[in-house]
Structures are given as structure tokens and as C-alpha cells.
Amino acid sequence: MDGLALPPTGTCELSTIGRRSGRAGRIELWYVVVDGTIVLTGTPGARHWLANLRRHPRAVLHLLEPAGDLDVVAQEVTDSAIRRRIAIQARRIQPWYAAQPYSIDGWVRGSQMVTLTPSGPFVRAPG
């Protein structure tokens, strides 16, 4: 991630472009870093942010620690073996995931999983 040192997990905000509205929107999410890659995942079910990224994969990741913004390109994770590895790591790294009432198999089958690849430099927040 070009010298950007992220904690293994944390909250962030993600700005996406609405798939139908075309308007910018922003949502708070958890991220985890798995094998050096920023991953967004959540409990099984449909999510608007994933639908938006499928249509418009370019987004802005707003980090709280370190504070700043990072332009990213999202790619949905569809390979079940990779999804399983991410689910296992996410539950190990982020206790909130492990506390949810979903098995690893349920997480692999039904959760959103997206990797974020930086497409520009990290811009630190002023202050």
C-alpha cells in the first residue's frame, strides 16, 4: 500500500456513486487488512454500497487512523476459497465479526467482500 501503514482493522467511511441516482454517498464500515490488502466485508445480506461499487468501482476511502483519504478501485471477491480465507482472517482480526451469529460457511456464501486497491496517493487530513 505504498508506505501507508494501516492498523489491521478499524472503522472507515467509504464514498461511492449511487448506481441509480448517480449521486455521491458516504457510509461508515469496518475494514480489515488481509495479506496486505484492504478488504471491506459485512454480515450476510444485500448492501447498497456493494451494489454501488459493482456499477461504479472507483471510490474514496476515508480513514480515521491515519486520518486521510485514499482513492481506491473496488473489486468484488467471488472466489470461494479466497472468500473463506478472508472470512477466517476477518473473524480473527476483528472481534465484532466473530461475535455475529453467522458461521464461516454462511459468511462465505452470503456476505459482501470487496478488496480495495489504491489508485492514487494517500492524502493526510489537515491538522
The tens digit of pLDDT for each residue in 77-105 reads: 999 999 999 999 999 999 999 899 999 99
Q: Determine the structural domain holding residue 100 and report its residue range.
A: 9-121
* CA distances (Å), origin 54, targets 17, 45, 97, 107, 112: 10, 15, 23, 19, 11
* CA distances (Å), origin 56, targets 7, 28, 38, 87: 27, 18, 18, 24
pLDDT-derived band at 2 (thresholds 50, 70, 90) equals low
What string of DSSP letters covers 86-109?
HHHHHHHH-HHHHTSS--HHHHHH
Count how many domains the chain has: 1
**Residue 17 domain flag:** yes
Return the number of other C-beta atoms located less than 10 Å from residue 124's C-beta.
11
**Residue 48 domain flag:** yes
Q: Look at residue 3 and tell me whether its pLDDT is greater than 80.
A: no
Q: In the numeric block, which cell numbers belong to residue 30?
A: 469496518
**Residue 66 domain flag:** yes
Q: Output the domain CATH number for residue 80.
A: 2.30.110.10
**Residue 4 domain flag:** no
DSSP 3-state assignment of 11? Answer: strand
**Residue 2 domain flag:** no
**Residue 31 domain flag:** yes
pLDDT for residue 120: 92
pLDDT-derived band at 113 (thresholds 50, 70, 90) equals very high
Q: Look at residue 5 and tell me whether its pLDDT is greater than 90.
A: no
**Residue 1 domain flag:** no
Nearest in space to 16 (alpha carbons), one of 32, 2, 29: 29
**Residue 58 domain flag:** yes
pLDDT for residue 4: 80
